Amino acid sequence: MSAAIRLAWRGQGHVEPNPMVGCLIVRDGVVIGEGYHAKFGGPHAEVAALQSLDSVDDARGATAYVTLEPCCHFGKTPPCADALVDAGVGRVVIAMQDPFEQVAGGGITRLRAAGIGVTVGVLGDEAAAMNAPFIKRVREGRPWVIAKWAMTIDGRIATESGESQWITGASSRAAVHQLRGRVDAIVVGMGTVIADDPMLDARPPGARVANRIVFCRRRLPGIDSKLVRTAAGVPLWLVAGPEVDAEKLRQLASLGAKVIPVATGDGVGMVDQAIGELAKNGATNVMLEGGGELLSSFFAANQVDECHVYIGAKAFGGAAAPGPIGGVGVASLDQAWRFELRELDRFDGDVRLIYRRSAD
């Protein structure tokens, strides 16, 4: 199952909003077939594994190890549970049940009804961690939110005068572009748009072209901004509060921007009202690239699931030099947002720490 999970990870960025799934077919302890869900709309892992066999008869009586319950409904592809039944496998070992309501145990029932032995729960926690974004979207109707920032060893994201480019080196920035190339949306606030005039694209392009989302409390991007100039070809969404200029908003919509109106200009309220719309529009993974105020709104709304923290080998000092999360913060230690370290990587002289929200 561990090998099947490693195989499933290859689909990251290519299969969303579907989950990542891997499958091995084993006979007498020897792997005779393997496959993973490689592309949205393409063959699922079980079918890919069956297709990899030397002969269609090789699956008969063999054991299939699958990281997620085989589907039992007709979607983009036929049911995988039926494919395993038709192939004559003797046993199926499943890491976890699929939370999607059109499956949710139905695939397991289908296999058992055909006389196939089924074991569920092998490395289930590891499989669930891999597909945590998919699970959150299915169960809560909200996307997985990744906050990214770069800071110095003394926790500053800019000098007192506002300089921030570059805190980290070229290798770290390349890793950020890889992340941009696998998420469904990149979110910034108007402060970032005004300060940097960003494109919010991945260079080189990745598996996905992210929707570019700007939270607009009072101000809107200029017509000459890179985001607006490219809105006809690359999706631009404006989460617009009630205080923005309505006429200018209509003008930006005519130039290709999609408007998500919200009834409040309060940062936390804007997050609460807008984030569900992102999932409805197919977003599984959302990346925050905004400044401290945007991050503070998402943290205060309890909508940050994962943090990618890049630490450059520099120190700025200065009492007024900003840190990554603005706003008022928490009043006491027991109110702190808690995370668990999942990964540590080095990029030349920089360090990347990946945290996930603690279950406690």
Q: Give the residue numbers of the binding site for substrate.
A: 164, 180, 200, 203, 289
121 alpha-carbon distance from chain centroid: 24
Per-residue DSSP letters for 18-75?
Answer: SPP-EEEEEETTEEEEEEE--STTS--HHHHHHHTSSSGGGGTT-EEEESSPPP-S-S
The DSSP output letter for 238 is E
Annotated binding site: 44, 71, 80, 150, 164, 166, 180, 192, 196, 200, 203, 289, 291-297
At residue 282, what are phi and psi to the nearest 5 degrees? 95, 5
Which residues belong to the annotated binding site for NADP(+)?
Answer: 150, 166, 192, 196, 291-297
Number of helices (H), then strands (E), in the chain: 12, 14
- Please name the residues in contact with 307: beta carbons below 8 A apart, sequence gap of 6 or more: 146, 147, 148, 149, 339, 353, 354, 355, 356
Task: Write out the two tokens for 143.
Answer: 């996307």
Annotated binding site for Zn(2+): 44, 71, 80
DSSP 129-180: HHTHHHHHHHHHS--EEEEEEEE-TTS-SS-TT---TTSS-HHHHHHHHHHH
Burial of 50 (0-12, 13-18, 19+ CB in 10 A): buried
The helix (run of H) or strand (run of E) holding residue 340 is strand 339-347
Which candidate in 16, 34, 46, 306 is catalytic?
A: 46
Taking each helix axis as running N to C, give the angle between helix 292-300 and helix 267-280, from 0 to 180 degrees, rounded to the nearest 10.
Answer: 80
DSSP state of 91: E
Cβ contacts of 317 within 8 Å, gap of 6 or more: 154, 156
What is the C-alpha separation between 26 and 337, in angstroms, rounded? 43
Tokens of 243: 């205080």
The token duo for 306 is 């994962």
Is 69 designated active site?
Answer: no
**What residues are annotated to the active site?**
46
